[in-house]
Amino acid sequence: MSISSYRVLAIASLAVILTACGTTSKRDTSLVHPKRTQVQRVAFNPSDIVQGSGTTMLVGRAYLGDQFQERVANLVDVVLNPVSKASEQWYQEVCRRGKVLTGPVDPNYERRRYLAKTNSYGQFAFSNVPKGEYYLTTRLYWMDTKPARGPVQYGGLLAQRVRLDAATHTIDLNQQHRCPGYFH
């Protein structure tokens, strides 16, 4: 073997080594969520809803905060859902226990809910809502894209049962109202 053959072999070997060092394995960056237990949705009965006479107003903010940072529910839906057997089931099975409700949602149930959108500060408002008891809910998620093992999603659902009986209420959704079944 001549010196030029050794050079070619050395250069080829070096190229293979450098290529192997420069190759990065493709990392799975998809989020993996645990499989959740399914529960059949109860039938909605409009007579379950008890509302008082007159209307009220609700304003508030949706956020999570501590002494270091605040995360705001930015431009997301906030739902005001009248207390009924169907909304109780959602709160107990989904929010508290982390399960999934299956079966079609009754259109009459959906029509009884009130929706508001938060602004960029997490503020929301409901006006002219019948007095009564409701579940106030929203979601607040964010991504951490820097961990070594790929992106991690944090946050989840926030919910609380509220009684609206005065002219105006100010009620926030924050870390005290995390749904333990749907929060990371």
- Amino acid 9: pLDDT: 44
pLDDT tens profile 2-20: 555 544 444 444 344 434 4
Check whether 55 has a pLDDT greater than 90.
yes
Give the rounded distance of the alpha carbon of 32 from its chain centre: 15
- Amino acid 21: pLDDT: 41
Query: Nearest CA to 84 among 111, 59, 54?
Result: 111
For residue 1, name the pLDDT band (cuts at 50, 70, 90).
low
- Amino acid 17: pLDDT: 40
- Amino acid 6: pLDDT: 45
For residue 40, name the pLDDT band (cuts at 50, 70, 90).
very high
pLDDT tens profile 69-128: 888 999 999 999 999 999 999 999 999 999 999 999 999 999 999 999 999 999 999 999
Q: Helix or strand or coil: residue 70? A: strand
pLDDT tens profile 133-172: 999 999 988 777 777 777 877 788 999 999 999 889 999 9
pLDDT tens profile 100-113: 999 999 999 999 99
Kindly report the pTM of this predicted structure: 0.77
- Amino acid 13: pLDDT: 46
Query: Nearest CA to 56 among 1, 143, 133?
Result: 133
For residue 67, name the pLDDT band (cuts at 50, 70, 90).
confident
- Amino acid 58: pLDDT: 97
Query: Count of H helices and E strands in the chain?
Result: 3, 11
Q: Tell me the residue ranges of DSSP E strands in the chain.
A: 38-40, 51-61, 63-65, 70-72, 77-82, 100-102, 114-117, 123-144, 152-164, 168-170, 178-183
